Structure 1
């Protein structure tokens, strides 16, 4: 490691926390001295369209890509050499010239239930206000508890916690992974069981994105790429792509590897939660693991797409 590799990221507390964690992992893998870490891996904060929009749902402003577009532009222009995103924010298609160079080990993908008056979703009285801007979380909540009320709640983790404390909503959900990366494990004591709330595709995983012709950045990123995470994310993102997944579609997916098999659970719902289409499939892993993962995702995603049709799409 002779010359710096500039890392681009959003400026939210969570984005910075996870970027610093990846930087530390890269420094350890490459035996970079602690005192040289900031010089060799400088961080450039880039404000994205998603950060600027706070008064409405992202679906109303264009959906996927709002948290990555400006960072990807900086990558293509050569202002940064490595971009770090939350994988669930990354569209299923890369812009020309960019590739995903893998993911570090995934953090807990579940959602945490945040409420000061009840321990679980089922404990809430009818009419309780659930604050979320996620169409997936909205649909899954109403599928289980159609008697609850959904109110729009946006912002970073701290902002949403403040809004709950201020009474703008009675409960909300936050990703367990984000809370752990921010050093708030005490807020993860009530995780949502995946049987009740399957997480967003790629939740808990990070994306390392580079220019496809940058051999040096590709080689550096490979030092922290985790094989099992890469396989699982390939299946989940293929499922998402098969359903034409975007912020306009309530979709959830979780892939796990055990005993040589890849298990993929996926579901899509109507935005009001009244209908749900789900699949639970397995495939033995041998040969090209990533290709098998993608095929499994495409297969069950295609089955749900054919069965559900346009019913799962949210109309503005």
Structure 2
């Protein structure tokens, strides 16, 4: 029996996600006759070590995966479970996303101290978020709010809500659901107020591209709908050359319904992309539908570039 060594960050969320994936893969292995066992190896990433600086100032995408990818390439580990929103749009040569499991709730959510929703927060309320994407959209919707950085794992950010004078903090709903802490959520933010990060709510199972034995198992774990919708979002991000350093969001869904442009029976993807000024003065959005996720992601990005997205991104990058 082969032991698959699974690399994971040390945070409670990362280990919980990894544990869920391993449980699912064990079930598939037993059902399909694979001879695999699994062992977790904890890896500290640069993003885990730097907690006193916002992500936009320390390198953005790749902060939470680089050391893990190095361990994959050197065969210290065989696979890794990532939050897809942490993954760069391009993977290193020799590595592949072997599976994208079914996505959970992709929305942002608000956790407030006194049970107030976003609309009910008092004028000038102090709200914690280290995401330029969230800050840009929140400032556009509620310019009176005072937005301040809050870094750390989910549990430490929830503690800071109580100890650092925040009226509320904004987090990804998916992490709270995976930890079983969904009862802490005060309200969910609709996508028209806070468009999620690329890949938010989805996981990526990364492995070596030549590990056919493991890939055969991972293919059975892949969720095709999630794979294609996330691929559209990631293509959008790639064309814009974006990361955590710039306010970019995207969310794709299956758009089942009547559309005269497409043959009946085809799966249609609807993708919304946004680029915003950090202070929320200008938010550019575009929504298109298509059947090819790569072409769709490119098309939405090109539409936003035509509207002036590149000028915004150039200003943000300095």
**TM-score scaled by length of structure 2:** 0.92
Contact 1:239 1:297 in 2 (8 A): yes
- The CA distance in 1 between the partners of 2:231 and 2:293, in whole Å, is 6
Residues 1:61 and 2:58 aligned together:
yes
Residues 1:268 and 2:275 aligned together:
yes
Q: What corresponds to 2:286 in structure 1?
A: 279
Partner of 1:200, secondary structure, is: coil
Partner of 1:51, secondary structure, is: helix
Contact 2:117 2:186 in 1 (8 A): no
Q: Kindly state the Cα deviation for residue 111 of structure 1 after the two structures are TM-superposed.
A: 1.0
Partner of 2:2, secondary structure, is: coil
Q: Deviations over 1:256-301 (max 9, x none)?
A: 1132321111111011111011011112x3xxxxxx1111011111
List aligned pairs for 1:52-131, cutoff 5 A: 52-131=49-128
Q: Kindly state the Cα deviation for residue 212 of structure 1 after the two structures are TM-superposed.
A: 1.0
Q: Which runs of 5+ in 2 are unaligned?
A: 257-266
Q: What corresponds to 2:29 in structure 1?
A: 30
Q: Deviations over 1:161-199 (max 9, x none)?
A: 100011342211111111011011202351111121111
- The CA distance in 2 between the partners of 1:12 and 1:63, in whole Å, is 18
Contact 1:252 1:268 in 2 (8 A): yes
CA-based RMSD: 1.8
Q: Kindly state the Cα deviation for residue 215 of structure 1 after the two structures are TM-superposed.
A: 1.0
Contact 1:112 1:187 in 2 (8 A): no
Q: What corresponds to 1:12 in structure 2?
A: 11
Q: Kindly state the Cα deviation for residue 118 of structure 1 after the two structures are TM-superposed.
A: 4.5
Q: Which runs of 5+ in 1 are unaligned?
A: 286-291
- The CA distance in 1 between the partners of 2:142 and 2:317, in whole Å, is 22
Q: What corresponds to 1:289 in structure 2?
A: none
Q: What corresponds to 2:177 in structure 1?
A: 180
Partner of 1:113, secondary structure, is: strand
Q: What corresponds to 1:305 in structure 2?
A: 305
Q: Kindly state the Cα deviation for residue 223 of structure 1 after the two structures are TM-superposed.
A: 2.0
- The CA distance in 2 between the partners of 1:189 and 1:54, in whole Å, is 25
* Bigger mean CA deviation after superposition, 229-238 or 23-32: 23-32
* Bigger mean CA deviation after superposition, 163-172 or 272-281: 163-172
Partner of 1:271, secondary structure, is: coil
Contact 2:124 2:144 in 1 (8 A): yes
**TM-score scaled by length of structure 1:** 0.93
- The CA distance in 2 between the partners of 1:126 and 1:30, in whole Å, is 54
- The CA distance in 2 between the partners of 1:218 and 1:77, in whole Å, is 18
List aligned pairs for 1:216-231, cutoff 5 A: 216-231=213-228
2:47 to 47, 50, 54: 50
Q: Kindly state the Cα deviation for residue 315 of structure 1 after the two structures are TM-superposed.
A: 4.0
Q: What corresponds to 2:263 in structure 1?
A: none
Partner of 1:63, secondary structure, is: coil
Q: What corresponds to 1:294 in structure 2?
A: 294
Report the number of matched residues.
305
Contact 1:113 1:190 in 2 (8 A): yes
- The CA distance in 2 between the partners of 1:217 and 1:10, in whole Å, is 21
Partner of 2:134, secondary structure, is: helix
